[in-house]
Structure 1
Amino acid sequence: MPEQTFEELRRYLLKSGITPRHVKRTIAELNDHFDDLQLEGKSEGLSTLDAHAFAESRIGEHKLIAQNMLAKTELKTWIYRYPRVARLYLPVAYLLLLPAAPVFAGAEHASAVARWGTSLMVSAAVTAAMLLLMQIAITLT
């Protein structure tokens, strides 16, 4: 149940630029704290639903948790911390990686790349043979 409780907070924090590592750790700590508060509520004689409500009230509002995390720039990814640098360097990095894209795609589809490569080599050999025969025919006539 607490996983569902903090799922919206998790998505919001990730969209806001908090690093996945910090989001994962925070949500795990909140889940642990939520479970502890539910057990505390049950030990005080509350029903399961009342213990859940008790834990939610003690945890506090998710907006406040998010605001506190967003106020700390060290928790954000470097793209959110240095947006001007990201706007300059990311396009350059993508341009440098663009020639490598077929290699990455080819590694995943090796059999298809092998078939296409073989067919291209055969077609090049046939074309070269036809051109050679035409050149020989021109030379002999």
Structure 2
Amino acid sequence: MIGVERVIMVRRPLAEVVAYLEDFGRTEEWDPGTVRCVRLDDGPVRPGARWRNTSRFRGRTTDLRYELVLRESARLLFVGENRTVTARDDLRFAAEGTATRLTYRASLKFKGFARLAAPFVRGEFERLADEVVTRLPTAAEAWRS
């Protein structure tokens, strides 16, 4: 398994940042690896909500089905899966005055023979996490609920 963690400051109140990020379909706006993300069900976003996320990683495109597993006032947990990998996006929030400190943890756990690739993709995964630090605050701050 490979994982990354970044701390990101967003100049919006905590509840607004959580409301923005709870819709995983918005990953197109802030995740540099996401090509497309489509909601697979209807209704309010709550635990059990699902998306199909198409990502480009190291020149290859892949689909993962993500689910919102946990939704708390200061935490969101999404788990995505396909036949070769399980991905986790664990977002934890803390108010810092009128801003929000987001601790973003992402991990990939490869399955079967794909596990052999883990050491070779770590650098690219780190680079993408660095881009999230730049893109996510800009997208969240521009969002209007």
TM (norm. structure 2) is: 0.30
**Bigger RCO of structures 1 and 2 (CA < 8 A, at least 6 apart):** 2
**The structure with more strand, counted as a fraction of residues:** 2
Larger radius of gyration: 1
TM-score (norm 1): 0.31
Q: Which structure is higher in helix share?
A: 1
